[in-house]
Amino acid sequence: MSTASQQPLPPQGAALLEKIRNRTARVGVVGLGYVGLPLAVEFAKAGFHVTGIDVAPRKVEQINSGSSYVQDIPSAEVADLVSRGLLRATTDFSAVSELDTINIAVPTPLRKTKDPDMSFVVNAAQSIARHIHPGLLVILESTTYPGTTEELLLPMFEASGLKAGVDFFLCFSPERVDPGNPKYQTKNIPKVVGGITPACTALGASFYGMALDTVVPVSNTVVAEMVKLLENTFRMINIGLVNELAVMCHRMNINVWEVIDAAATKPFGFMPFYPGPGLGGHCIPIDPFYLSWKSKQAGIEARFIELAGHINGDMPRWVVSRIQDALNDQVKPLRNSRIHVLGAAYKRDIDDVRESPALDIIHLLLQRGAIVTYSDPYVPELRLDSATLRSQPLEALSSCDCAVIVTDHRAFDYDAIVRLAPLILDTRNALKGRTEPHILRL
C-alpha cells in the first residue's frame, strides 16, 4: 500500500472505509460487458451487495434471471449470487443514490478518424452526476487517454458542489481483462489504481483489496491511465515488428516461426512475439491510438505507434495476397474460388469477434469475388454488411479451393483439416511441425 493510505482520511472517507472493511458498502458497476460483469461477480462473491447498471434491457434481464452471457462467467455462478441477493441488475441510474461505490466499465471505441469516442463514458458520468452524493467512490475503468478522469469526469462531478477527495472520491483503474485466459482472470490480475487525491487512491486501493488478490496504488489518475496505454502500445509495436519481419522472411524464403523460436532461447534481452493475420479485440488495435491522439494535442508525433498501426492494419491484405498467390500457383483465379476461413474470433478459444482480422479478410475476399465459408465452434453466425454467414462443419473443407487458418482454436481437429483441405495457409503456425506440401505458412 502506498503512503497515501497512511494519511488521515476526511470524515466522509473514514466512514466509507469502515463500510468497505466490514463489507456493508453497496457496490455498483456501470456497464455489464466482459469487464463489468466479471468485476461485479467478484465483489458479490466477496460478500458485497452489488448492483449492475446497463442501458441494455436484455443484459439486465439475463442477469436477474441468473444467466451469464460472458464466456468467462458461468451461469451457475450468476444464478447463485442472484438467488442469495448479492447481485442484481437494473437500467435505472437512480440506483446510484443508494450506492457507496460505482465503477464505470463502458466501451471507449475509436471513431473512423482514429480519435476517441468518449460518448459512452460521458453519458455514464452524466447519469451518475445526477445522483452523486457525499461519501460516494467513483472509479473509471474504461481505457482512455491520459487526463480523462481529471479533465472530463472531475468537473462534471464537482459541478454538484461536492469536492473530490473530501466529499466524494474519484479514481481511475485500468481494466486488464484477458478474455478466455484460463490462468489470469479478474481476481488474480494485479489491479492498478490512482486517485485524484491521496485519499481517493487510498480508498480505491482498500476497495479493490477486499475482492482482488493484488492492488498496485500509483500516485494519481494520469499515471494509472498511462499504465494501460503503455501495456497495449508495447504489445502493438512488438507485434508490428514481427509482422514486418514475417513479410521480409517470406520474401527471403526464411521460416519466420523458426527464427522466433530460436531467438526465444536467449535467456535475457529478448521476449518472443508472434506474427499473425492482424490485430483484434477491443484493446491492442485501439488503445495505442488514444495515446497517439493525446500526444498530437501536445505537439508530439507518435511515430512508432502510427507505423506499427499501419503494418498491423495491412496484415489482412497481406493474407489475402498470399491466398491469391497460392491459387495462382495452381492456375486458379481468386474470383469464384472457394475459400474456407478457419476461425472468426479475434483470438483462440473465445467467442469475441470485435476488431477480428477474420472480418477484414472475409470482407476483402468477398470484394475480390471469392466464395467464402467459415468454421468457428465459438461463433455460430457472422454478419458482414448485408451478408450473413453461418459456421460450417469441417467437412466443408473438402469442397474448398483453399483454407486459411485465422484463429487457432484448440477445438479444431487439425488432422482432419490437413486431410480435407487441398491447400492451407496457416497464419498462426497452428500446424507447427507439419511438412505436407499443401501447407503454406504466413
How far apart, in whole angstroms, are the C-alpha atoms of residue 19 and residue 137? 12
C-alpha cell at 246: 514475417
| Residue 61 phi, psi (nearest 5) | -60, -45
Under 8 Å CB-to-CB from 84, ≥6 apart: which residues? none
Cβ 98 vs Cβ 26: under 8 Å:
yes
Q: How far is CA 154 from CA 149, 203, 364, 371, 373, in A?
A: 6, 17, 44, 52, 49
Under 8 Å CB-to-CB from 250, ≥6 apart: which residues? 256, 322, 442
Cβ 28 vs Cβ 103: under 8 Å:
yes
SS3 state at 181: coil
Dmax of the chain from CA atoms? 78
Q: How far is CA 126 from CA 115, 132, 144, 153, in A?
A: 21, 10, 17, 9
From the list 136, 188, 119, the residue with the least C-alpha distance to 25 is 136
Exactly one of 171, 249, 283, 402 is catalytic; name it: 283
Angle value at C-alpha 84, between 83 and 87, nearest 5 degrees: 80
Examine the residue annotation and report whether 402 is marked as an active-site residue of this protein. Answer: no
How far apart, in whole angstroms, are the C-alpha atoms of residue 350 and residue 328? 34
C-alpha cell at 437: 506440401
Strand partners, 381: 390
From the list 363, 356, 222, the residue with the least C-alpha distance to 281 is 356
**Composition of the chain by helix, strand, coil, percent to 5:** 40, 15, 45
Under 8 Å CB-to-CB from 24, ≥6 apart: which residues? none
**Other beta carbons within 10 Å of 298:** 7
| Residue 209 phi, psi (nearest 5) | -65, -15
Q: How far is CA 362 from CA 37, 62, 347, in A?
A: 31, 32, 16
Residues serving a catalytic function are 283
